[in-house]
Amino acid sequence: MKACDRLDVDFRVCVRLNTDFHSMKTLLTTDPDQAAEFIRGGGIVAFPTETVYGLGANVFDERAVRKIFEAKERPADNPLIAHVGDRSQIAELSREINDAAHRLIDAFFPGPLTVVVKRSARVPLIATAGLETIGIRMPRHELARRFLAACGTPVVAPSANISGRPSPTTWQAVYEDLDGRVDCILQGEATEIGLESTVVDCTNEVPLVLRPGAVGIEEIRRIVPNAAVFAGNAEQAAVSPGMRHKHYSPRAKVVIVRNASEAVGHGRSAFIGLEATSAHFDRVEVCASPNAYAHRLFAFFRECDSDKIDVIYCQEVEEMGIGRALMDRLRRAAEA
Ligand code: TXA
Ligand code: MG
């Protein structure tokens, strides 16, 4: 039996519900206390973090968590990350924090790192997609921290996009996907990092990086030297359900190129990369560094879609630090 077979979420029902979503009023606010009131009342709220915007619900409120899956049209077998505002909440979510998890938490919380640990019995199975484990993260983003403090409970939150679309890095991108489907959008600035957190599974002897992010493998190995990187084999895939799903895709076709001269435009084309180019594209973004590239990528994908671009050429980067996460997202987008 697959873990998700234990759940009674029926996504045919979700699709049907979606037709009613647009009758829902979505409140836009910059006030974290006002946004948190919706969480306390069993609602769902999009909020900024330093990585991407998340769509949150009280982790212990099963009905509220279900609303997240419906609003995003998210497959039921993809588990959610629980966000804490304060370290004492970790004990509410997990019955066992082993040494590797402890060390990673001490080194990187608050920040763009998620640790996967054994879940506590209090966490409803819908939040973990039927798994006995749970991902936990403590954002360092100021507004997110004020929001989580006001919620007074850990908040499960996937990225606040319709499943399969690029994660939102601005509140406007959240609005584009989820207006009429969520109770509230907490409006902050564009997110600093622009790619999702690094996810490390700490439930086995060898900690396994399931998803690269802003905390690089080099930094993780400084804290847990035996950490391995997810290689996508069958055994590892079982612990990383989210990696099976299509992700981060603009409507346009994504092509990875070594440099701009390799990008030969057909139809309306765009280029994003580190190198200036004199070739003609309908949209061009030259980024000053890999960090700036990461910060802009998902917003650029969305701008290209609004612009009816057919092909987006993305320049490859060296797989170091944020470069590894950037290449991971580019490959996933190019797979589509
Ligand atoms: O930066 C982020 O992580 C953002 C912000 C909002 O915090 N959240 C985010 O959530 O990217 P989401 O749901 O889009 O991606 C969560 C990833 C998925 O690949 C999922 O499979 C994995 O984390 N994940 C969550 N819980 C897990 C668990 N218990 N075991 C293995 N993988 C897990
Ligand atoms: Mg996501």
Mean pLDDT of the 276-288 span: 92
Q: Please check whether residue 28 is in contact with residue 142, taking contact to mean a CB–CB distance below 8 angstroms.
A: no
Which residues are CB-neighbours of 15 under 8 A, at least 6 positions away?
A: 73
**Residues 178 and 284 occupy one common structural domain:** no
**Residues 224 and 263 occupy one common structural domain:** no
Distance (Å, whole) CA 269 – CA 311: 5
The alpha carbon of 159 and the centre of ligand 1 are apart by a number of angstroms equal to: 8
**Residues 53 and 198 occupy one common structural domain:** yes
Residue 114 alpha carbon, nearest atom of ligand 1:
3
Q: Which protein residue's CA is at the shortest distance from atom 5 of ligand 1?
A: 54
Q: Give the amino acid at 304.
A: C
**Residues 162 and 305 occupy one common structural domain:** no
Residue 119 alpha carbon, nearest atom of ligand 1:
29
- Give the strand pairing for 45-47 and 113-119: unpaired
Cα torsion 321, 327, 330, 334 to 10°: value is -170
Residue 129's region, left for phi above 0, alpha for psi from -120 to 50, else beta, is left
DSSP β-bridge partners for residue 135: 81, 116
- Give the strand pairing for 198-201 and 208-211: antiparallel
**Residues 42 and 80 occupy one common structural domain:** yes
User: Read out DSSP for 119-154?
Assistant: EPTTS-TTTTTT-SEEEEE----HHHHHHHHHHTS-
**Residues 146 and 197 occupy one common structural domain:** yes
Report the CATH number that the domain containing residue 73 is assigned in CATH.
3.90.870.10
Q: Name the closest ligand to CA 49.
A: 1
Query: Does 169 reside within a domain?
Result: yes
What phi and psi values does residue 208 have, to the nearest 5 degrees? Answer: -125, 125
Q: Which protein residue's CA is at the shortest distance from atom 7 of ligand 1?
A: 54
Given strand 253-257, what is the order of strands in its sheet?
A: 253-257, 311-315, 269-273, 283-286
Residues 37-54 have pLDDT tens digits of 999 999 999 999 999 999
User: Is the CB of residue 208 below 6 angstroms from any atom belonging to ligand 1?
Assistant: no
Query: Does 155 reside within a domain?
Result: yes
Report the CATH number that the domain containing residue 311 is assigned in CATH.
3.40.50.11030
Q: Which protein residue's CA is at the shortest distance from atom 24 of ligand 1?
A: 79
Total domain count for the chain? 2
Give the pLDDT band (50/70/90) at residue 15. very low
The alpha carbon of 228 and the centre of ligand 2 are apart by a number of angstroms equal to: 22
Distance (Å, whole) CA 116 – CA 98: 11
**Cα 9 to chain centroid, rounded:** 21
Which of 19-33, 171-185, 251-265 has the weakest average pLDDT? 19-33
pTM for the full predicted model: 0.93
Q: Give the amino acid at 58.
A: N
Distance (Å, whole) CA 228 – CA 207: 6
Q: Which protein residue's CA is at the shortest distance from atom 3 of ligand 1?
A: 197
Q: Which of 201, 198, 197 is nearest to 119 (CA)?
A: 201
Distance (Å, whole) CA 267 – CA 84: 46
- Residue 56's domain spans which residues? 3-229
Q: Which of 194, 229, 264 is the last residue of a domain?
A: 229
Query: Does 244 reside within a domain?
Result: no
**Cα 22 to chain centroid, rounded:** 24
Pocket test for ligand 1, best of 145, 191, 196, 247 (most atoms within 8 A of CB): 196
Which of 126-135, 182-191, 245-254, 256-265 has the weakest average pLDDT? 245-254
User: Is the CB of residue 54 below 6 angstroms from any atom belonging to ligand 1?
Assistant: yes
Mean pLDDT of the 199-210 span: 96
What phi and psi values does residue 78 have, to the nearest 5 degrees? Answer: -110, 110
Residue 106: is it exposed, middle or buried by C-beta count within 10 angstroms (0-12/13-18/19+)? Answer: exposed
User: Is the CB of residue 51 below 6 angstroms from any atom belonging to ligand 1?
Assistant: yes
Residues 300-328 have pLDDT tens digits of 999 999 999 999 999 999 999 999 999 99
